[in-house]
Chains A and B, each alone.
Chain A
Amino acid sequence: MPAIETRNLTKKYKDITAVDELSLTVEEGELFSLLGVNGAGKTTTVKMLSCLSAPTQGDAFIFGKSIRTETAAVKKQIAVSPQETAVAPGLSVKENLALICGIHGFSKEKTAEKIEEVTRLLALSSVFNRKAGKLSGGYKRRLSIAMALVSEPRLLFLDEPTLGLDVLARSDLWDMIRALKGKITVILTTHYMEEAEALSDHIAIMKDGRLLLCDTPDNIKQNTGEGSIEAAFVKIVREAM
């Protein structure tokens, strides 16, 4: 069963079509990147897939569950790490993680186990008892991702996870994201082409709400005759104008 299957997924806002009959499949365990310039429809797609926004037409299935009619079942299997760091500022790192575990109904033992696991994975132990509002941008971003991971999602949406981070922090986060490959399905939206190239199994390129292409990074480069995803992306999007 695929992790995601969208069928003519469409979102319209009055006379604007933000996502136009999007049909794609994401297999379980892969890291899938959604690329596009501003207004391409990436965020709207993620909002629909994470049940934040209802489609105007079409449907999508997350591990076989409809985002239209089975939102509660979908929400149990997903987690979202939004573009802006989504943390409770007055709570410590530990309390933020415990909050998400509590919302997902984890037992005391499981909460402790999951917190320890994501703290290790995201290297948060040095700031474990510090208030989230007092953390640096890099740590806030790590905590935000840890809060998404702690709920044991089968499908994780990472929206611009490295935006605003310095080179070292970005490199660390790339390693952490790579460590997730094969374990859970990750949907990555990013403006950084080298990030998508380095991490993705498949890349989908969107423009004006439409899917222009969906393939592996190597195939995209080979088919466009370009040496990098960035150059291939520019070529594909320009040709679609």
Chain B
Amino acid sequence: MRDMRMLTFANRSFKEIIRDPLNLAFLFGFPVVLLLLLSAIQANIPVPLFEIEHLAPGIAVFGLAFMTLFSATLIAKDRQSSFMHRLYTTPMTPADFILGYTLPLIPIALSECIVTYIFALILGLTMTVNVLLSVLFSVPVALMYIGIGLLCGSVLNDKQVGGLCGALLTNLSAWLSGIWFDLDLVGGVFKKAAYLLPFVHAVEMERAVLLGNFADALPHLLWVLGYAVVLIALAIVLFLRQMKKQ
């Protein structure tokens, strides 16, 4: 019964997200356009950072930042509407809500990674088992971004979510991830701050997995998982608090 409640709600969350054409554009269009554009630049002015085996994992991770926007927007809109009030008067439990918002984003995240790697393969990436593993390793990264989304959606309204998760987070996760420029070029506090945050670890983990360097991937995976666990735990606390406030 509990599984049915949660799965029904998860199904609803999935439909609400994928039926928004803007979400689909962000999800599949944006990473693919970036991949094509930067590969074109690479073809004319070769830069090691934009070689396809470096670029593809970075763009796959960057695309996952939209999981934050999707989850935060859905929760914030639900919270602001009477729809959430209705659901609070049903037998749904806090666990049903949290899982119902989290689980549908995992197949969405996986599909974003799969599409990114398919285009990377078309652009010259060699097909190995590591490509499949890279897709699998995107799950903890997705959970980390979903955690940020749950957190923001639990405390912000949809306009604030748009600004914070749409603009600020995507920019931060781009600058501080080493996707577009080598962090050694800036160095100093910037680099130290970047390595205290999860974004660069997510990218370096994906790059290491794609190259088959699993020992190198492990410490980065721990950073990402650590952030994911803390963010999701914090999000649960804040979601329950706002649920009680209602």
Contact = CB atoms under 8 A, between A and B. Distances in A.
A52 interface: yes
Contact of B12 (A84, A86, A99, A104): A99
Interface of A, secondary structure class, is loop
B89 A75 contact: yes
Interface residues of B, number: 24
A85 interface: yes
Contacts, number: 74
A209 to B, nearest CB: 20
Interface in B1-17: 1, 4-5, 7-9, 11-12, 15-16
A90 B16 contact: yes
B81 interface: yes
A80 interface: yes
Contacts of B8: 98-99, 102-103
Given A90-B19, A91-B16, A80 B5 contact: no
Contacts of B82: 82-86
Interface string B110-121: 000000000000
Contacts of B19: 90
Contacts of B44: none
Interface string B86-102: 11111110000000000
Interface of B, secondary structure class, is helix
B83 A87 contact: yes
B85 interface: yes
B128 interface: no
With most chain B CB atoms within 10 A of its CB, the pick from A87, A90, A95 is A90
Contacts of B5: 102-103, 105
With most chain A CB atoms within 10 A of its CB, the pick from B4, B82, B89, B246 is B89
Contacts of B15: 90-91, 95
A79 B89 contact: yes
Contacts of B16: 88-91
Contact of B88 (A52, A79, A85, A100): A52
B86 A82 contact: yes
A76 B86 contact: no
Contacts of B92: 103
Given A88-B12, A90-B15, A103 B81 contact: no
A205 to B, nearest CB: 25
Nearest to A96: B12
A80 B91 contact: no
A102 B100 CA distance: 13
A17 to B, nearest CB: 19
A214 to B, nearest CB: 24
B85 A80 contact: yes
Nearest to B93: A72
Interface string A68-83: 0000100110111111
Contact of A51 (B7, B20, B83, B89): B89
A147 B88 CA distance: 14
Nearest to B84: A86
Given A86-B85, A105-B5, 14 more contacts: A51-B89, A52-B88, A52-B89, A75-B89, A79-B90, A82-B86, A86-B81, A88-B83, A90-B15, A91-B12, A102-B5, A103-B9, A104-B91, A105-B4
